[in-house]
Amino acid sequence: MIELSNLSKSYAQGKVRAVDNISLTVRPGEIFGFLGPNGAGKTTTIKMIVGLLRPDAGEVRVAGIDMLKDPIAAKRRIGFVPDQPQVYDRLTGSEYLNFLADVYQVPDDVRRERIEHYLEIFELRDAVGDLVQSYSHGMKQKLVLTGALLHNPPVWIMDEPMVGLDPRSAFLLKDLMAEHCRQGYTVFFSTHILEVAERLCDRIAIINKGRIIACGTLEEIKEHREKETLENIFLELTENEGIPVSLEDHLS
C-alpha cells in the first residue's frame, strides 16, 4: 500500500541530510511502526509520503498511485494526522469537519454517520459546536483524528498520534487501527512509545540520522542479537558514535 524507493531529502541547501536514501514497503493489512530518536527524520519521511514535502530524489507510491505524478488521487486515499494538532482556531469543530467532508466529497448520509460515530467514541459531541480556540490539546488531537478518518481512507499515516491522548482515547485509537488493518487496509505511524510498537505493529522500521538501520518483524529484528527487549535494541542501534559507553553500561 505504501512504497518508498530511494527517498532522500535534505534541508538548508544540502547541509542537513534529513532523509538519506530510504526504501520501504508497507503491505495491505499491515500496521507499520516507524521508530527513531528525535531528529532522525521520521516527520520528514512522513511529510514526503503525504505530499507535503517534495523529495530531492526517489519515489513515493500510495495505494499504487505515484504521489508526484497524480497527487490529487493519491491524497484521496490518505488519512493524515500530523505531529501537532493544528486546526483553524476560528472555526468550530463541526465547521472544520464539514469543511473536510466537503473537500473530500463525502456524501451526506455517510458523513453524518461517520462523524457521529467518531464523536461518540472520542466524546467530542458536546464540544463540537465550540470554536476550536477553546479546545484542549487532546481535544484538538481527537478532532484532527476524526477529520483524517472521515473519508474512510485505505491508508492511515500518523505522526505520533498518541501524544496528548488520555489512556482511554489512546486505547480506542489502537483499537481503531487494528480494526482498520483487519479490513485489509494499512496503518503507518511513528511513535516514541516502544511498548505500543512492540504490541501493535506487524512490522517495524528504526531510522537514525536519515537511514533505516533495522526493518522487519519484531522477531526478525531480535534475531542474531543478544539483547532481549526492543528497548535495548533501540538503544544499541541508535547509540551515538561519539559516546563509547551505552547508557546501560554506564549505569551498571
Partner 1 sequence: MRAFLSLLKITFRNYYGISVMKQKYVKEKRELWQPILAVIGLGFGGFTILSLYYLISRGLYTGGKMLGEPALGLEYALLASAFLIFFFGVSSVITTLYFTEDAPFLVSLPLKPFQVIAAKFSLVMANQYLVLAFLLIPPLVIFGRGEGLGFIYILTAVVIFLLFPVIPLAPAAAIVIPLMSRAGSKRLKDLFTILTYVFMIAFGLGLQFLVQYLPKGKEIASLQEILKNHGALLTQLGRGFPPAVWATKALAYAGTGEGLLSLGLFLVLTVVLLALMLLLGERFFYQGLLKGEEVGRLRRAKRKVGVAWGARSPFKALILREHRLFVRTPVYLMNVLPVAVIVPVIAVLPLITQGNQLPVDRIAPFLATHPYVKLVIAAITTFIAGTLPLAASALSREGRLFFISRLIPVPPGDQVKAKFWYILGVNYLCTMPFFVLAVVIARLGPGDILALFILNLAGTAAVTALGILIDLLHPFFDWDNPQRAVKNNLNVLFAMLATLLFLGVFTVAGVGLALVVPWWSGFLILLLLIGGAAVGLYQGQLVLAEKSYRSLEM
Which residues ranging from 116 to 135 are in contact with partner 1 (CB under 8 A)? 125-131, 133-134
- 36 contact choice in Mg ion, ligand ATP, partner 1, none (CB below 5 to 8 Å, kind-dependent): ligand ATP
Q: Look-up: residue for cell 469537519?
A: 97
For Mg ion, the closer CB: 124 or 144: 144
User: Which among 175, 185, 199, 194 is positioned nearest to 232, based on CA atoms?
Assistant: 194
Other CB atoms within 10 A of residue 201 CB: 23
Which residues ranging from 65 to 124 are in contact with ligand ATP (CB under 6 A)? 83
Q: Output the smallest distance, CB 193 to partner 1, in A.
A: 25
User: Which listed range, 25-33, 90-98, 199-207, 208-216, lies at the site for partner 1 (CB under 8 A)?
Assistant: 90-98
User: Which listed range, 12-20, 137-145, 167-175, 216-224, lies at the site for ligand ATP (CB under 6 A)?
Assistant: 12-20
Q: Look-up: residue for cell 467514541?
A: 121
155-159 and 186-190: which strand pairing? parallel
Q: Does 14 bind partner 1 (CB under 8 A)?
A: no
| Helix H or strand E segment including 78 | strand 78-81
Task: Classify 142 as helix, strand or coil.
Answer: helix
User: Which listed range, 11-19, 161-169, 180-188, 223-231, lies at the site for ligand ATP (CB under 6 A)?
Assistant: 11-19
User: Which listed range, 71-79, 190-198, 209-217, 239-247, lies at the site for partner 1 (CB under 8 A)?
Assistant: 71-79
| Nearest-CB residue for Mg ion | 43
x-marked contacts with ligand ATP along 26-65 as a string, rule CB under 6 A: ----------x-xxxxxxx---------------------
Helices (H), the chain: 42-50, 71-76, 93-103, 108-122, 137-149, 167-182, 194-200, 218-222, 230-237, 247-251
Other CB atoms within 10 A of residue 50 CB: 22
Backbone torsions φ then ψ of 157, nearest 5 degrees: -125, 115
Q: Which residues bind ligand ATP (CB under 6 A)?
A: 11-12, 16, 18, 36, 38-44, 83
